[in-house]
Amino acid sequence: MEIRRVRRDDVKWFIEVYQRAYANLPEYAYTRRREIRSYFNWLLGRDQEGFMVAEVGKPVGFVACDTNWISYYSDEKVGEIHELFVLPEFRNRGIGSSLLLKALDYARNRNRRVAELWVGEKNENAKIFYKKFGFKEEGVWGKWVRMIKYL
């Protein structure tokens, strides 16, 4: 497996992997290709260096860590994990863990003291995954659970 920074021409893969990764969680995802493409471009524009892809011969997962994000709760810049997903058939192979660790290292290297993310309240697998890495639930907003980790 290789992890590299996302390039603009990865958009086709991002859309395909995103749609398949969120197939069973449509309430937390964009569903139209146009929306997903716009989301890709937004992520790329937020913090291009923190937007990474895992490849196993082809792209199988993505993470977007935005170190330009200012937390709504502390008014300081944090490492905001906007997105982390892996193709279902490549899960439980350490790919998601590797992507998350790369994102957290990126945030630390940018002198961020906190990593934050939002996860769907019914996405128990994701909450368990993030807790293994030291994230703690810090509140709920609508259908989203806020999780943080001190770096």
| pLDDT tens, position by position, 82-113 | 999 999 999 999 999 999 999 999 999 999 99
Percent of residues, the chain, with pLDDT higher than 70: 100
Give the residue extent of every domain in the chain: 2-150
Check residue 47 and give its pLDDT. Answer: 98
Report residue 73's pLDDT band, with 50, 70 and 90 as the boundaries.
confident
Question: What is the chain's mean pLDDT, rounded?
Answer: 97
Domain 2-150 in CATH 3.40.50.1860? The answer is: no
Angle at 20 (CA atoms; ends 93, 59), nearest 5 degrees: 55
What residues have CB less than 8 Å from 82, skipping those under 6 apart? Answer: 43, 46, 64, 65, 66, 69, 117
Burial of 82 (0-12, 13-18, 19+ CB in 10 A): buried
Model pTM? 0.96
